[in-house]
Amino acid sequence: MERRSLTATILVHLAALVLLVVILAPVVWLFVMSISSTPDLIAKPLHWWPDTVDLSRYGVLLSSVANSAGEAFVASLFNSIKVAGMATVVALIVAVPSAWAVSRTPSVGWSLYAVIATYMLPPVALAVPLYMTLAWAGLLNNVFGLALVYLTILAPFTTWLIKSGFDSIPREIESAATLDGARLDQILRLITLPLAAPVMATAALFAFLLAWDEFFYALLFTSDQRAKTLTVAIADLAGGRVSDYGLIATAGVLAALPPLLVGLFMQRALIAGLTSGGVKG
Amino acid sequence: MTSNWLTTRAWFLMLPLLIVMIAIIGWPLVDTVRLSFTDARLVGTEGSFVGFDNYVKILSGTNFQRTLVTTFWFAVLSVALEMVIGVLAALLLNQQFYGRSVLRALMILPWALPTVVNATLWRLIYNPEYGALNAMLMQFGMIEGYRSWLGEPGTALASLIIADCWKNFPLVALIALAALQAVPRDITAASMVDGAGAWSRFRFVIMPYLAGPLMVALVLRTIEAFKVFDIIWVMTRGGPANSTRTLSILVYQEAFSFQRAGSGASLALIVTLLVTVLAVAYAALIRKSAGAS
């Protein structure tokens, strides 16, 4: 390790402190807003820390009283879970066999470039026909319709990620099992899929979060509590005439909690994905 | 097993994915091309063939040209800022200091925050009456009175870029950090023995390791920035006075607010073409870096 002068050490620590504040301050402020009373939030000069901690907004948003802000929020929470869950399951079902095929068959390797290419497509390129088709099929403002649309993002994404997972499992293991007389379905069921389970779990988790964060299609294709997702509900709150900024912040904290926890606890898998270019920015 | 049979089996296994991709990506894309040559409305009329009318009108219109310039500035400024701050943060995180592993772990927070929540958070921070930014600048005596950061054309785009940058520079930092950790210790040590200064060490010893991953991050971020919709829609909806309207916002307005599906589709294809050029550059880079290693 190189030796540093005392000045350099102090400068490095100061810079680290600045970076810490830059990273943490906005997130912490979101949380502080969610637990501050309204008088604290509109005080001048602003109260950076509330006089009394007020957790009531969490109760308001998570209540299911009819026609309350909570009812709409809880409905959008469940819609997000349903849409993201369905899209993730279907994406995995179509992605796993394709990913294995691409990984083990060099002659179809070029099709992976086609998959990556669709992943780069801007959503606006598909939005108009998708809207017309959903309207025609009666699937506008419907969780199934939105989940179907989310496959446009999730199917290429999971195929790409799981394919790189299969790549890291030596094919010699499969060849050896073939020599021992195992059939393809036995090889996949007993050897390859168990070995690829961690990658598939990671892909499922990221796919779920990708759908959880999605906003553009949800804004276009949903219009009320029957299908509106969390992101649209929050944008409604932020852009609407809600005067309680703390309530908007609380909705943000609740929506951010699942991805933040996954981000903190799955750091290693995440960074491995980032550096291989497999995770969207 | 012949290779022919293996290829057939592969296509068979890929069938479910292919059906899904053709149904919800391939066909809509083709239909967007068809619509772009019609004057179809979003609801109601099928529209009739109008040739290149939509394209001519869009490309010669001031709306498109102004929006393209706005998108260009948003992409260039936010990506440049993210790259510079990201690399500086990575160089810092590669030094020894107390709490380094904690800070490295916390870097994931802005990236993990959903884009809509990030946009909402910064909208609250920039709030003209009660926002934290106004309160802070006031308490430090840096402004005379509260300002409407997102409400004035002069500051709205810059405010958006800062919010976008805060969310995305940690991603660049983490990618750069992973690359820095791959630089062999003895090489940096040897360059110091040879008397290389800090700058030439960075430029000639460390930069070659950073260049590949950073290029990939640069192109990916540029593509994302060109497609930007969410953060702008939530924070300004393209306003004030269209000063933050980007291409995706313009497509949304044309196709969905004004329900002009035909010209909306042609506009969407122009955006797609621009993104494709960037994506092709990306593919070339991947192939190049795959060939190099």
Q: Quick: pLDDT tens for B47-78.
A: 888 989 999 999 998 899 999 999 999 999 99
Instruction: Return the pLDDT at A46.
Output: 84
Specify the pLDDT at position A274: 57
Does A278 score more than 60 pLDDT? Answer: no
Which region among A45-54, A237-246, B154-163 has the lowest average model confidence (pLDDT)? A237-246
So what's the pLDDT on residue B291?
58
Q: What is the pLDDT of residue B68?
A: 95
Q: What contacts B58, CB < 8 A, 6 or more positions away?
A: B64, B263, B266, B267, B270
pLDDT tens sequence across A25-39: 999 999 999 999 888
Query: B113: closest CA among A76, A119, A23?
Result: A23
> Are B111 and A22 a contacting pair at CB < 8 A?
no
- Comparison of pLDDT for A123 and A65, the residue scoring more: A123
Residue B290's pLDDT is what? 62
Give the pLDDT confidence of A198-208 residue by residue, as tens digits. 889 889 999 99
Q: Cα–Cα distances in Å, from B159 out to A83, A256, A270, B231, B244?
A: 32, 22, 29, 11, 10
Taking contacts as CB-CB distances below 8 angstroms, the residues of chain A near B27 are: 129
| Domain edges within chain B | 33-292
Within 8 A by CB and 6+ apart from A80, the residues are A211, A212, A229, A230, A231
Indicate whether B288 pLDDT > 80.
no
Which residue in the set B117, B248, B286 is minimally distant from A252, CB to CB? B117
pTM over the 0.80 mark:
yes
Read off the pLDDT of residues A61-84 as tens digits, 9 standing for 90 and up: 888 777 777 888 999 999 999 999
DSSP per-residue string spanning B63-93: HHHHHHHHHHHHHHHHHHHHHHHHHHHHHHH
pLDDT over 50 at A247, yes or no: yes
Look at B120 and A235 and tell me if their CB atoms are within 8 Å: yes
Exposed, middle or buried: residue A58 (CB in 10 Å: 0-12, 13-18, 19+)? middle
Instruction: List the structure tokens of A148.
Output: 């179907």
CB B253 within 8 A of CB B238: yes
Give the HSE-up count for residue A198: Cα atoms under 13 Å, Cβ half-sphere: 9
Chain A residues touching residue B150 (CB < 8 angstroms): none
**Higher pLDDT, residue A112 or B142:** B142
- Quote the ipTM score: 0.91
Q: B-chain residues within 8 Å CB-CB of A12?
A: 92, 95-97
Over the stretch B132-184, which tens digit does the pLDDT of each residue have? 999 999 988 888 888 899 999 999 999 999 999 999 999 999 999 988 988 88
Winning range, highest mean pLDDT, from A157-171, B8-22, B49-63, B81-95: B81-95
Cis amide prior to B16 (ω within 30 degrees)? no
- Nearest Cα of chain A lies from the Cα of B21 at a distance, in angstroms, of 7
pLDDT for position A279? 45
Residue A3 pLDDT level (bands cut at 50, 70, 90): low
| Start-to-end CA span in chain B (Å) | 32
Contact yes or no for A22/A4 (Cβ under 8 A)? no
Top-level CATH class of B33-292?
Answer: mainly alpha
CA A69 vs CA A60, A62, A73, A102, A242: distances in Å: 7, 9, 6, 48, 10
Quickly state the pLDDT bin for A105 (edges 50, 70, 90).
Answer: confident
Residue length, chain B?
293
Share of chain B above pLDDT 70, in %: 98
DSSP string covering A156-177 = HHHHHHHHHHHHTS-HHHHHHH
Chain B positions in Cβ-Cβ contact with residue A15 (cut-off 8 Å): 92
pLDDT at res. B234: 95
* Interchain CB distance below 8 Å, B92 and A19: yes
Distance, CA of A152 to CA of A216 (rounded, Å): 13
Q: Is the peptide bond before B240 cis (omega within 30 degrees of 0)?
A: yes
Average pLDDT over residues A159-177: 87
Cβ of A255 within 8 Å of Cβ of B98? The answer is: no
- Stretch A86-99: mean pLDDT: 95
C-beta atoms of A117 and B279 within 8 A:
yes
**Residue B49 DSSP SS3:** strand
pLDDT at position A71: 87
d(CA A247, CA A40): 13
The reply to whether residue B115 touches residue A215, judged by beta carbons under 8 angstroms, is: yes
Contacts with A28 from chain B: Cβ below 8 Å: none
Task: Give the pLDDT score at A273.
Answer: 59
Closest approach of chain B CAs to the CA of A67, in angstroms? 24
CATH 1.10.3720.10 fits A64-275, yes or no: yes
Band the pLDDT of B80: cuts 50, 70, 90.
Answer: very high
Decide if B27 and A129 are in contact by the 8 Å CB cutoff. yes
When CB atoms are compared, the residue of B111, B116, B271 closest to A234 is B116
Q: Which residue, among B14, B67, B123, B139, would best test binding to A if mutated, counting the most A CBs under 10 Å from its CB?
A: B14
* pLDDT tens profile B81-139: 999 999 999 999 999 999 999 999 999 999 999 999 999 999 999 999 889 999 999 98
